[in-house]
Amino acid sequence: MSSTPTTTTQLREFVTANFYVPAAVVLDDIPSFLDHGILDSTGVLELVTFIEGKFGISVPDHELVPSNFDSLAALSAYVERKRV
């Protein structure tokens, strides 16, 4: 995986703080943010707004799919790909 610790760390901090992930939950181990109730539709919008602003990327509608947003690893890899 090409993602840097910095990207993953920033995403982990944002998701944990903004979506009230309980302290006992290890975000990296969650296979599906959606199935675990961590992300709802408003949460996805907030996340998109965050990554577009923070990483200077643009997220087109067709890339708003679970394979890019549904876990920390997927999200981190997606952001890294877009930053290239």
Partner 1 sequence: MAFTGTEATFSASEARDEAARLVLRLREAVHAMRRKGVVLGISGGIDSSVVAALCARAFGAGNVLGLTMHEAESSDDTRRLARLVIDHLGIATIDEPLSPLLAAAGCYERRDAAIRKVVPGYGPGWRCKLVLPSVIDTEQLRISSVIARSPEGEEIRARLPAEAYLQVVAATSFKQRTRKMLEYYHADRLNYAVAGTPNRLEYELGFFVKNGDGAADIKPIAHLYKTQVYQLAELLEIPAEIRARPPTTDTYSLPQSQEEFYFALPYAWMDACLWACDHAVPAAEVAAGLGLTPDQVERVYRDITAKRMVARYLNAPPILLQGANSP
Task: Point out which residues bind partner 1 (CB under 8 A).
Answer: 34-35, 37, 40-42, 44-46, 48-49, 61-62, 64-66, 69
Query: Closer CB to partner 1, residue 27 or residue 51?
Result: 51
Q: Which residue has the tokens 């707004």?
A: 49
Q: C-beta of 4: minimal distance to partner 1 in Å?
A: 25
Query: Closer CB to partner 1, residue 5 or residue 20?
Result: 20
Q: C-beta of 61: minimal distance to partner 1 in Å?
A: 6
Q: C-beta of 26: minimal distance to partner 1 in Å?
A: 21
**Rounded Cα gap, residues 16 and 57, in angstroms:** 21
> In this structure, what token pair is assigned to residue 20?
């009230």
Q: Are 40 and 46 in contact (CB under 8 A)?
A: no
> In this structure, what token pair is assigned to residue 71?
């876990």
Residue 68's closest CA among 53, 50, 82? 82
Query: Closer CB to partner 1, residue 2 or residue 37?
Result: 37
